[in-house]
Chain A
Amino acid sequence: MISFIYRLANWTAIVGGIVLVALTLMVVASVAGRAMIGLGLGPVPGDFELVEVGVGIAIFYFLPWCYLRGGHATVDLLYMHMPAWFKKGVDLFSDVAMLLVWLVLTWKLWEGMLEKKEYLETTFILQMPIWWAYAFCLVGAVIGCICYVAKTLTRLGLASEPKGWTVEANVSH
């Protein structure tokens, strides 16, 4: 189960990456089209809002993976001089806090989505309902909550991380 959740985070991040690469191609097409407006081409309609919504979705999909890989920026100045029980306590605190925060954020994102749906708000150019974007983000947020539960369980020793799992503290590249 745990290894399935870790793989799920991996797939989710890859989907986010596909969205990002697709946006890259869309922007290139849009800039090219804008440059060749004289030839009857034009920018991709709604390119700005597509970038906004797409990057927003990608980030929601990146976050669970980032957390499982220990990718969040941390400072271990005091941590490294502390006894083992203290380190364990802090790590557990971080995991539980992350889980609680994301449960709240996900719950509120859900409410936000319902509101956007009720008000029928749309984007400017494509007039695409905003709640669709919220719904895509919500998928990432829910997967995030599942991952944070999994991480907390492994921290409590109730489950173990997949074989060969490495965490990159403080490294981002």
Chain B
Amino acid sequence: QTVTLRLHQFLPPQAVIPAKAIIPWARKIEAESGGRIKIQDFHAMQMGGSPPQLFDQARDGVADITWTVLGYTPGRFNKSEVFELPFMCTGGPEKCSRAFHEYVEKNAADEFKSVKLLAAHTHGPGLFHTKQPVTGLESLRGMKIRGGSRIINNMLVKLGATPVGMPVPAVTEALSKGVIDGTTVPWEVAPSIKITELVKNHTSFAGKDGLFTQTFAFVMNRAAYDKLPADLKKVIDNNSGIELAASFGRAMDEGDKAGLALAQKARNNLVALDVAETQRWRRTASVVESDWVTEMKGKGIDGAKLASEARALVAKHNK
């Protein structure tokens, strides 16, 4: 008999991750199961609810498979959050996604125990998109910047900017009319929110370093997985884990390249801060990390150990 699985996520089907990672994955599962698994795609929250609910929708069986941003539920994924710390992720999204997936399996598995984790991944290097060029640490002072997660907002305060909390769809309008002076997103998101048309300055950091990262998870309802016959379980198993995380990372990388190309085509000002300046940012942003470690201590989590664990894994996958 055939099994129908409902897949739910928050982006329209033409966006990078659905188009390059999720939909191909679903079709691959269907093919490898010999048509015995049928996956119904629900894009852009068609099944209802709001994006922060996606993780619980998979846990509760509202949907069978969901893709979600961990930062949408601040405070919930404390151990996973270590990958959102400033300058944690280096070496590009594919390597970083491998490192993150391995980290989650080793150190944060309890945060995902209510679901079957298919893949945990990150986006590419995070950077600034601003109206006025950001050429150094001082440039940010007084700028109104939209941040995408609680860690990013903490960091913006430390860097002297005014963080403005705002839903993603509002960014385009807010930027075009001066409600904010800039935003923090990776290149991959830039085309869909028309960043390259709205601001002319993009500031990245020395090497493949990103100032910030957001983390994502692709998860499945546990009961739905357990109910599958052994051979279909195997189809899912063969298509989940670190290699799937890496494929999400590769999709992010492709998206980043397309976004960057768009900015180059628009002849925008691409600022790449040099090693010395990046070092200054690292020092300032490191306060965010020490604050985070203190905060985690209050929750009974050894943040310093987790951070060094994470760095070791990033280094391992960058070898």
Show the binding face of A for B, using Cβ within 8 Å. 34, 37-38, 42-43, 46-49, 115, 119-125, 127, 129
Contact = CB atoms under 8 A, between A and B. Distances in A.
A48 B165 contact: yes
Contact of B75 (A46, A115, A120): A120
Contacts of A123: 74
Contacts, number: 44
Interface string B169-200: 00000000001000000000000000000000
B221 interface: no
Contacts of B144: 34, 37, 43
B162 A124 contact: no
Which one of B150, B163, B164, B165 has the greatest number of beta carbons of chain A within 10 Å? B165
Contact of A127 (B56, B73, B76, B150): B150
Given A37-B142, A37-B144, A125 B75 contact: no
Contacts of B153: 124-125
Contact of A49 (B75, B142, B165): B165
A145 B83 CA distance: 44
Given A34-B144, A37-B142, A119 B75 contact: yes
14 contacts: A34-B144, A48-B165, A48-B167, A115-B56, A119-B73, A120-B75, A122-B75, A123-B74, A124-B149, A124-B153, A124-B165, A125-B163, A125-B165, A127-B150
Contact of A46 (B73, B142, B165, B299): B165
Given A120-B75, A121-B74, A125-B163, 11 more contacts: A42-B162, A43-B164, A119-B73, A122-B74, A122-B75, A122-B150, A123-B74, A125-B150, A125-B153, A125-B165, A127-B75
Contacts of A34: 144, 179
B75 A121 contact: yes
B221 to A, nearest CB: 16
B179 A124 contact: no
A51 to B, nearest CB: 10
Contact of B76 (A38, A119, A124): A119
A124 B74 contact: yes
Nearest to B179: A34
A2 B142 CA distance: 56
Closest 8 CB pairs of A and B: A125-B165, A122-B75, A119-B76, A120-B75, A121-B75, A122-B74, A48-B165, A124-B165
Given A34-B144, A127-B150, A121 B73 contact: yes
B76 A120 contact: yes
Nearest to B147: A124
Nearest to B72: A124
Contacts of B149: 124
A121 B76 contact: yes
Nearest to A38: B142
B44 interface: no
B15 interface: no
A8 B163 CA distance: 40
A75 to B, nearest CB: 25
